[in-house]
A and B are shown apart, each in its own frame.
Chain A
């Protein structure tokens, strides 16, 4: 209510990101400067320390693989030593190191960056794209994450937004956002399944949509199953083809690997329309004897499908579980929405169609729907209208660790948020005076296999035999997804609580420092722009003056007045030449001023001659 402010919706993807706004004419995706509606989620730092994001970063990836970060989303919010991190360390060309909070950092040009910092660079880029388009400064955003992201991953994404100078109104789930885009402004009354196979993650959500209410019934997914896994299969296949002939592993060379990667991605995309593609990578390897080796092969759609069929089958199995959770049979689903670039693959479409027994909807754009949905939710939140209401669920079980290493669920997955549940627990040892409440999120019955969200120790319990003192543990999740856990001693009424999401992997001070660094960087960019502009001005004036010089010399050469003017002009030209490539903005500006006066004089002389 009140001031008209634009809320942008950002789909922060594994491979590509997209930004959308909702204006008077409806929701729309904002194209970047290059005219593309999506921007590669790639960040690089050049030799000169310049930050590159998006297409620019992608273009230089082959020659600068070590300092180019892609797929950062796969690492965000993960803890050091988790299987996914180890997997990335094996496959990524950039160095991954341990951070101070058991988190992960990426080293680029000798500086360690946290994952939220890397992601914030992409978010900044998306923010700038939207600001360029709308002509006003933007400070509020809704950002999407895979439905299956846990609390730590969501919090880290929110931190990324903060570092980028954005007030993140809400983190919403990608498939839910896609459903918003699908149902917005349409009169729908049915259950809809959203199948979202993106660059790095797979999500499936089942929703009930009616009268503008989007009620998520169940959701599931795999945060390590996406297009990059498909690419990896093709890379492996290509490397094997080459090794069979030359006994050389192409993947051992960074540049060769990057070329393989690009070729694999391209082949995969082309095979969505073509039935076979030529893969041609000349000079991919130079032997010790100096012989240049080329990779030339043909990949058919059939072979590709064989390579990846188990990945697609995995998604179908997750669909089965989700539908069972929703209490629906595949044929009870009214419509299937496909999102994510990978759903362009004919085999994916075929298998989804086979499973649900219906033709997937063509109503949303697979690359744009998520960002559009985020923009719709952002507008719904700030405007407070009742066109759209999203009833989302918690994707994972929430609970506490109990005696013996078990995990006791308090709020089950697929519970509509906001929610509040409580359960009574008791002491497990005689004369136990304190209880450690460890808040966990996950799917395993074993506490150690789940993600720890936070913990606190409840003290001051009356020493008594085991099982005599009762404690009520209360879990509350707000619509923002913030988990609050409290414990009450039922004997004394004493209460203790923690807000779990307050503990992300970055401290507040660290975020503030990163924000400050980021601000400096933003100023750098704007100064860069100003500098560029000044240089162009000076260059143009310089050329004009030099062009007139011979004429003026001929016309005025004789007189002492003319002599004086020409000398002055020569000095001004010399000054301009010496500072035009320098870093001093003021020097460039003053040189331009001097030169402009000279130019005015020259022009006057030139006119008189004619």
Chain B
């Protein structure tokens, strides 16, 4: 059984049938879908369905695909030789999701002539890769939030057929190799997450709390700049017209390792501004309490943006309330504000958590002395 094929150019002569026990769970049935389903009576051929359908040819095809993906109808195979001639003419493209921030029609990509991939397919690959970190797992697999396990599997299997590196076995695909590898890895992570009940639940919770979406990883491959491993002969020319949502100068997300390296080095050298900015950049990729606190500490040392520092510090403490170092930063910030009692409590908490924290102990003593002095006056 093959996946989705172009029903318009290779209209199969066979008959479309309904599955024996179709499950509508997870398939969002629209009125049009029901309409078309009514035409599939087990006698009509695909051509007849197209002829009698009140919908446009495109819409009929899309609806049939949707019903097929949902396991509700079975479409006949295209005639073998027709499929082969079509394969030579038109390359089968992966289904393009409609829900992504930037519509496919507005996405521009200049295909490369030096790779053995059809230009239209190149664009699809570029579109998928470009959006990997801008969509959530459901969007990536083009699914509803309540999609059934069967539908999740069907979508992942179908997309894998387009993006698994084996599809490009020993072909000259230049800089597309790491990019395709990355798309498959992302699809794979999405499937492993959504196909496991526990992992899916955890992901759903993260999805509902985080905005815009939980980003599980970073991208390292790129079609825009040559990656260190594969140096393409000529860098891909920039798209003639920048897509509307993205200003042309937006830098690509830097690898986390690179950002963290810069942050730590700057912090050690005392360049707290650079360090703070780098930690903040890293936070875009990984919401770790440690990074929040490190950023706050840098801002404290700079005595700049203390409001931001306080927000970060508070968030870090909410995630990890038993870290002495986090309490020290928080205490220092409230002390600066003049909230001595609160600062005293926070320092005391830090000392309780880490009795050897000399900084916390000395600050605690100082705050207590100050409080006593205030009381006496």
Residue B165 at the A interface, CB < 8 A?
A: yes
The interface-forming segment of B36-44, B151-159, B362-370 is B151-159
Q: Report whether B260 and A470 are in contact in the complex, using a CB–CB cutoff of 8 Å.
A: yes
- Of all chain A residues, the one with the shortest Cβ separation from B180 is A418
Q: Report whether B158 and A211 are in contact in the complex, using a CB–CB cutoff of 8 Å.
A: yes
A residues near B258, Cβ cutoff 8 Å: 493
Q: Report whether B3 and A493 are in contact in the complex, using a CB–CB cutoff of 8 Å.
A: no
How many chain A residues touch B (CB < 8 A): the figure is: 34
Q: Distance (Å) between the CB of A585 and the closest chain B CB? A: 41
Q: Distance (Å) between the CB of A361 and the closest chain B CB? A: 18
Residue B301 at the A interface, CB < 8 A?
A: no
Residue A420 at the B interface, CB < 8 A?
A: yes
Residue A492 at the B interface, CB < 8 A?
A: yes
A416 to B258, CA, bound (A): 27
Q: Distance (Å) between the CB of A320 and the closest chain B CB? A: 20
B residues near A420, Cβ cutoff 8 Å: 181, 185
A519 to B265, CA, bound (A): 58
A residues near B2, Cβ cutoff 8 Å: 211-212, 386-387
Residue A1 at the B interface, CB < 8 A?
A: yes
The interface-forming segment of B8-16, B56-64, B166-174, B306-314 is B166-174
Using a CB-CB cutoff of 8 Å, which residues 423-479 of chain A contact chain B?
A: 470, 472, 478-479
* A382 and B157 contact, Cβ closer than 8 Å, known pairs A212-B2, A416-B188: no
Residue B161 at the A interface, CB < 8 A?
A: yes
The residue from B157, B170, B184, B257 contacting A211, defined by CB atoms under 8 A apart: B157
* A211 and B165 contact, Cβ closer than 8 Å, known pairs A490-B260, A491-B261, A493-B257: no
Residue A284 at the B interface, CB < 8 A?
A: no
A418 to B166, CA, bound (A): 10
**Do most interface residues of chain B lie in helix, strand or loop, or is the interface mixed?**
helix
Q: Report whether B264 and A491 are in contact in the complex, using a CB–CB cutoff of 8 Å.
A: yes
Q: Report whether B157 and A215 are in contact in the complex, using a CB–CB cutoff of 8 Å.
A: yes
Residue A346 at the B interface, CB < 8 A?
A: no
Q: Distance (Å) between the CB of A418 and the closest chain B CB? A: 6
B residues near A391, Cβ cutoff 8 Å: 160, 164
* A389 and B168 contact, Cβ closer than 8 Å, known pairs A187-B1, A212-B1: no
B residues near A212, Cβ cutoff 8 Å: 1-3, 161
Residue A225 at the B interface, CB < 8 A?
A: no
Residue A390 at the B interface, CB < 8 A?
A: yes
- Of all chain A residues, the one with the shortest Cβ separation from B4 is A211
A384 to B158, CA, bound (A): 15
Residue A327 at the B interface, CB < 8 A?
A: yes
Residue A277 at the B interface, CB < 8 A?
A: no
A residues near B168, Cβ cutoff 8 Å: 384
Using a CB-CB cutoff of 8 Å, which residues 45-88 of chain B contact chain A?
A: 71
A479 to B178, CA, bound (A): 12
Those 6 A-B pairs whose CB atoms lie nearest each other, nearest first: A213-B157, A490-B261, A381-B169, A386-B161, A187-B1, A479-B165
**Contact residues of B with A, CB < 8 Å?**
1-3, 71, 92, 116, 153-154, 157-158, 160-162, 164-171, 181, 184-185, 188, 192, 196, 257-258, 260-261, 264-265
Q: 6 other contacts beyond A380-B166, A386-B161, with CB at 8 A cut-off?
A: A211-B1, A212-B161, A381-B169, A478-B181, A490-B260, A490-B261
